[in-house]
Structure 1
């Protein structure tokens, strides 16, 4: 089939991201307050730090800042996950990375659907962290069977959405009017439904096993449970949230505050208690908590060596708490984190020289005027012929994700699930392998070097 006349997957993704944000803002008004706070902090940060603005501009990241969002959903069956993969493919989003959250007491494993090329990410960096419930981790056999039966009876996609997904696969794309219809139909999968699909007693059984299990099983579909904007100063946002009537979680997840941000830092406001109607409620409303507001700050993507060092230092800090949840003693945890990360270089040049982070390279005006003249990259950088900035981390951290889940689902951390990583099982449910995020960052860095070589001769 000819591809001319089809809407760009990047444009479909951007349209869907805007539609999702508008829907969530209408459903969760506090999300609008959060967006306003993040916009104010970002504007102030850029004004106060022109070098940061220049660095973002160099990497093409300044324009995407206000558009950046990531959502999170949880599905219950392999069929739901596989169909989501097909739905996201219409928008140019592929599954990147495998995350096991069971070791942190959350009975799911996950991937992140996102664009994979830096040019596509500049147009729309929309991501969806997608988790699959692991029914096999429910030790109560009758409850496990009840949950499986409830999930088997539901259909989380509209008939029109399924038809448009198939049409995209058959003809190789969607026309602009078809793409508009697809966005509207796909949005229905992520909408909040007040009407539960279970009785109050069934809900309580699922809830008592784990709040997340109730959230996945007891409703018509995988309502979006947060939609996250990106800030340039998460500590300032954390400090300002109470003044805006927003109660933040006690601990910012991820690495500590640094001059050179790395990976991902996240905070959130507590999950909302929302009225729901059970199938036997006869007009009396129950309640459910799941949806919350999250904010993120993204830093440098780390190489395998950098990530290994990060994991080692994070484990050192968490071990220092002696099993006490970080939320219960945030000041001690912050001190332990800062102490541990003194061993992680806090300077972009050191990160590059030690091979701890990925970088994007570009020739300067001086370099374009002079050419390379046989000089190597280190010399070109030292002489100002080439400049570089860290590649932005586009993915997620399992410990941080579990921390966000736990703080917003309530209750203490659970450990009885043990470590149950099973990437093969997840990929079988997904219907395809997940992509190695390290390979994507390496390709981004390599493409920038090849572009430098072409431009400098």
Structure 2
């Protein structure tokens, strides 16, 4: 009898729920955060029907309350390579390359996520995954101690490795195997309060950088935050303060806008958690560690290369004018400079589309009475399904949109921003001693450790837009 395999989308969905339940037990404040975000989202959807309608059109409405991203930090190339294989079971592939060293965080990273629209709607779970760069540790003796410590640990259970190999050999997992996979994979991300290092070594690592201590000092890459998606991050920020949840001072990313772009992020400050350090007598010394926190994100439209160039320019301009790292003491001044800089970034979807600054879905409006005539007048009733944006002129598409035959909807940004990620990390590690590291990492080195290339996120958005255009024109042609 032929095995019936469970889809990778379903395995990812089940794993993300199990991860959320585990993290809520480990960090009760995370549960409070989920409740707050749910309340804010419910309020936005009831008071702003246009946002509800937009989410319905793009298929995001059903995934909103399920949406999470997590973050982990790995210590070795072998760990990263096996993690890639683990995530592949869940239909998650590495997307994007992020070098955080210039921002003072000694890692380079990628995001594991699904890439197809329907898969993202089923489960938009994503994990920002960083690899520690031991070469950035200046102390050679400490660097070797860290390397030796990492070489001794095994962050994957034997059972999960066996199930990964079975998935690769057979092309899937049965329902029973998938259930066991979720249970075993969860162990990799679990918090352990007993460390494999001495308190002395931990303190040395901490003196180098909080993130180095977080990676090297523990048995595995405990999930250090899970992030729900909100429709109004400013309301959540205010809500955290009202509920006594201490938020970080700065919301990372672009300023508040009518048409959100890319990604805005905030978090509650990292917890101080009791840990036990191994000692030479075979016992443990008590201490504490600060790393795990709660994060919230608001996602906007994905930007084209032209849009990203403008975004980076305006963000850099605001930060340069501030002259120092944004913090609690200059938050108000920073927001003013940020909003002033971003006045140069159009804040309506039509202009973002027309100027080629953002990616959009093209959707045929089924009830448009003049869809057939508009299609004919625009010269697209002889559609060749070649999947290219060249199949219709920009002028013709503009005409279709103006006539109401085609609707524009933003393609949500599924990825991350290196400056924002660094800001979140630094804020929660309480580490502002190092503003940057010399010797930038490189994508080739990271991909060598990964054992595969990373997908270019901009190419994925371009493909999503092109596919929607082709589907839209075919729908219009069917009425022509």
Please indicate the TM-score interval, normalised by the length of the shorter structure: over 0.9
Q: 2:473, 2:228 → 1: CA distance?
A: 35
| Map 1:24-423 → 2, pairs under 5 A | 24-280=23-279, 282=283, 284-367=285-368, 370-371=371-372, 372-375=375-378, 376-418=396-438, 420-423=440-443
Q: 2:192, 2:419 → 1: CA distance?
A: 29
Instruction: Answer yes or no: is the 8 Å Cα contact 2:250–2:326 preserved in 1.
Output: no
- Deviation string 1:344-378 (CA, Å, 9 cap, x unpaired) is 00111110010000000111123488432242321
Partner secondary structure for residue 182 of structure 2: helix
Equivalenced residue count is 456
Q: 1:444, 1:209 → 2: CA distance?
A: 43
Structure 2 unaligned residues grouped into runs of 5+:
379-395
What is the CA-CA distance between 1:386 and the residue it aligns to?
Answer: 1.1
Instruction: Answer yes or no: is the 8 Å Cα contact 2:102–2:438 preserved in 1.
Output: yes
Instruction: Answer yes or no: is the 8 Å Cα contact 2:276–2:284 preserved in 1.
Output: yes
Partner secondary structure for residue 365 of structure 1: coil
What is the CA-CA distance between 1:324 and the residue it aligns to?
Answer: 4.0
The alpha-carbon distance between structure 1 residues 283 and 421, as it changes in their structure 2 partners (threshold 3 A), is closer
The alpha-carbon distance between structure 1 residues 205 and 413, as it changes in their structure 2 partners (threshold 3 A), is closer
What is the CA-CA distance between 1:284 and the residue it aligns to?
Answer: 4.3
Structure 1 unaligned residues grouped into runs of 5+:
none
- Deviation string 1:293-315 (CA, Å, 9 cap, x unpaired) is 00000000000000000000000
Q: 1:455, 1:416 → 2: CA distance?
A: 51
Instruction: Answer yes or no: is the 8 Å Cα contact 1:265–1:298 preserved in 2.
Output: yes
What is the CA-CA distance between 1:231 and the residue it aligns to?
Answer: 0.1
Q: 1:60, 1:368 → 2: CA distance?
A: 24
Instruction: Answer yes or no: is the 8 Å Cα contact 1:368–1:456 preserved in 2.
Output: no
Which of the numbers 414, 424, 437 marks the counterpart of 2:444? Answer: 424
Q: Give the number of the structure whose alpha-carbon radius of gyration is greater.
A: 2
- Deviation string 1:209-264 (CA, Å, 9 cap, x unpaired) is 11100000011100000000000000000011022120100000000000000000
Q: 2:125, 2:342 → 1: CA distance?
A: 30
Instruction: Answer yes or no: is the 8 Å Cα contact 1:325–1:413 preserved in 2.
Output: no
Q: 1:154, 1:368 → 2: CA distance?
A: 65
Counterpart in 2 of 1:8?
7
- Deviation string 1:122-179 (CA, Å, 9 cap, x unpaired) is 0000000000000001010000000000000000000000000000000011111101
Instruction: Answer yes or no: is the 8 Å Cα contact 1:75–1:130 preserved in 2.
Output: yes
The alpha-carbon distance between structure 1 residues 332 and 413, as it changes in their structure 2 partners (threshold 3 A), is farther
Instruction: Answer yes or no: is the 8 Å Cα contact 2:85–2:164 preserved in 1.
Output: yes
What is the CA-CA distance between 1:418 and the residue it aligns to?
Answer: 2.9
The worse-fitting range, judged by mean Cα deviation, of 87-96 and 410-419 is 410-419
What is the CA-CA distance between 1:415 and the residue it aligns to?
Answer: 2.5
Instruction: Answer yes or no: is the 8 Å Cα contact 2:108–2:441 preserved in 1.
Output: yes
